[in-house]
Structure 1
Amino acid sequence: MSDSVLLPVIISLITCCVIMSFVWLWAKKVKNAGIVDIFWSFNFPVIAVIVYFFSDGFQTRKIILSAMVLIWGVRLGTHLGKRVLSHLHEEEGRYAQLRKDWAPIADKKFFWFFQAQAFSNVLLAAPFFIVTQNKVQELSIFEYIGFSIWIFAIIGEATADWQLDLFKEDPDNKGKVCETGLWYYSRHPNYFFEWLIWVSYFVFSLGSPYGLISVTSPAIILYLLFNVTGIPATEQQSLRSKGALYSAYQKSTSAFFPWFKKKNQIPQKI
């Protein structure tokens, strides 16, 4: 691996680890590990800026890729920030459960958990490092397709988040399960479109040498969503808070893909 590739990788890793160290100090002070989600998202725009300035690929390609990551990461981080900061002194259920499981050394374990998040930022950013090293001064069909998938995915993710926020803003819906809009078809349309965004980065990177390597990014995201911090933790918390209502919702909807519905019903409108 050339020094031109290693430099942005090393700078990104050091920067993300430092950021997460400060985030851990804040989380320890307010006793809310949920803020890690905000900065996990914001770390990707930070990496986008780093690869833009420290990679020597084709300028137009760097601008497009960096803009894609900046727009997506800032939108997601801002969305999560509004949610977490609205109840900063009330830790989200899945992190509160981890705190209980990891007692009496929860703070120490959370530190390494936060550092693991920083490492995952850099690992998942493989497409960014690959694309911004490509010096070919012409965009390929893969880059046009990847960008098109990204447009579709970010609109879908923003729509799912907006629909859920709209549902939660109605006090009459307290304790209820959101089954409106995309949430009628899928229990996690936001996760689906989040994964699709990573697919778009992978497809975009296929126009660059070694782009196939970045298939690891959507693969890792898919694994995490289905087996680690995504769907399992979210659904366990929903079952704890909503009980039978959410259990019935689980039986009627697809866990992930938003165009499948297990029951033949007419979608509700929002």
Structure 2
Amino acid sequence: MNPNGFDWSNFVAISVTSLLLLAILQAATFLVGRRIGRYNVVDVSWGLGFVLVALVAAVLGEGDGLRRWLMFVLIAVWGLRLTWHMYVKSAGRGEDPRYVEMLNRSGGDSTVVVVRKIFLTQGLSQWFVSLPVQLSAVLGAASGLGTVVATIGVAVWVVGFAFESVGDFQLRQFKADPANSGKIMDSGLWSWTRHPNYFGDCCVWWGLWLISASVWPGPVTILSPVAMTYFLVYATGARVLERAMSRRPGYPEYQRRTSYFLPLPPKR
């Protein structure tokens, strides 16, 4: 490692290896999606891709071992849970309306359009969002204020993981009850925010960034959690889902009394 605590060659090795593995993962996911006739299978590989990057960083990284493997454990717990959740959620169902709308806006479902708009975009997004993980793996140990920042990062990750996993569990239980058919989920965490899973996902990645930011130049990767927040709130997450849900009976009323993204006490 260089005296300043940053090894460019080690970072490049991690980054290039991560990019190659993500390309292979997305290519395999595309082939599966083409075979089964729906491309929402890409959601299953979303969390799995980050787990692969975290494993590459932990194994190839020459930085602080404690932080490398802490990052891997946190991402593996988050990513594998999300992978299983998305698999169960999409199994046996048709195409996600978000991808139907996206492809219709882009001119159809030709191979070129599908690869460019869905799989290439997702692979590059995974690589860019995971830059704090890649960079963190080549940095030295945190000390002083850096240790405090890393501890706060772990706490933010815990809050995010709890929101995401509990929110998904509550919604799954709600949908499993036939008495709730056609109803809007507005209890539990869903009474505080219309998107507890997306809010939790956002916290997870800000927490991971804080862990990386505990040692310089970790803070320079701040655009990675900013990009993830943009995806979750606007590009492919909450806003797209809201457009579809707003046509359902009772949802406009739910919107008026429940916070859009940040958890807030429900209005009367």
- What's the TM-score, normalizing by structure 1? 0.90
SS at match of 2:229: helix
SS at match of 1:258: coil
| Structure 2: tracts of 5 or more residues without a match | 1-6
Instruction: Say whether residues 1:76 and 2:82 are aligned partners.
Output: yes
Distance 1:202 1:155 in 2: 18
Kindly state the Cα deviation for residue 137 of structure 1 after the two structures are TM-superposed: 7.1
Kindly state the Cα deviation for residue 180 of structure 1 after the two structures are TM-superposed: 1.0
Instruction: Say whether residues 1:258 and 2:263 are aligned partners.
Output: yes
Kindly state the Cα deviation for residue 239 of structure 1 after the two structures are TM-superposed: 2.7
Distance 2:234 2:37 in 1: 26
2:105 to 69, 93, 101: 101
SS at match of 2:246: helix
Distance 1:37 1:235 in 2: 18
Distance 1:94 1:104 in 2: 14
1:32 to 25, 28, 38: 38
1:50 to 56, 60, 63: 56
State the one-letter code of the partner of 1:250: Q
| Structure 1: tracts of 5 or more residues without a match | 265-270
Kindly state the Cα deviation for residue 203 of structure 1 after the two structures are TM-superposed: 1.2
Give the match for residue 219 of structure 2. Answer: 212
Instruction: Say whether residues 1:20 and 2:43 are aligned partners.
Output: no
Distance 1:33 1:63 in 2: 32
Tell me if structure 1 keeps the 8 A contact 2:14–2:57.
yes
Kindly state the Cα deviation for residue 182 of structure 1 after the two structures are TM-superposed: 0.6
Greater mean alpha carbon deviation, residues 200-209 or residues 138-147: 138-147
Let me know the Cα RMSD of the aligned residues: 1.7
Instruction: Say whether residues 1:195 and 2:199 are aligned partners.
Output: no
Tell me if structure 2 keeps the 8 A contact 1:130–1:209.
no
Give the match for residue 59 of structure 1. Answer: 65
Tell me if structure 2 keeps the 8 A contact 1:8–1:51.
yes
Kindly state the Cα deviation for residue 105 of structure 1 after the two structures are TM-superposed: 4.2
SS at match of 2:226: helix
Superimposed CA distance per residue, residues 215-267 of structure 1 (whole angstroms, 9 cap, x where no aligned partner)? 11221122122221011211122134x2x311221121111012242x23xxx
Superimposed CA distance per residue, residues 91-116 of structure 1 (whole angstroms, 9 cap, x where no aligned partner)? 12112223433454443211112011
SS at match of 2:250: helix
Superimposed CA distance per residue, residues 56-88 of structure 1 (whole angstroms, 9 cap, x where no aligned partner)? 01211111111111111111111111101142x
Number of equivalenced pairs: 259
1:91-130 alignment, distance < 5 Å: 91-112=95-116, 113-130=118-135
Distance 2:113 2:265 in 1: 38
SS at match of 1:140: helix
Kindly state the Cα deviation for residue 141 of structure 1 after the two structures are TM-superposed: 1.5
Superimposed CA distance per residue, residues 3-23 of structure 1 (whole angstroms, 9 cap, x where no aligned partner)? 110011001011101110111
- What's the TM-score, normalizing by structure 2? 0.91
Identity %: 25
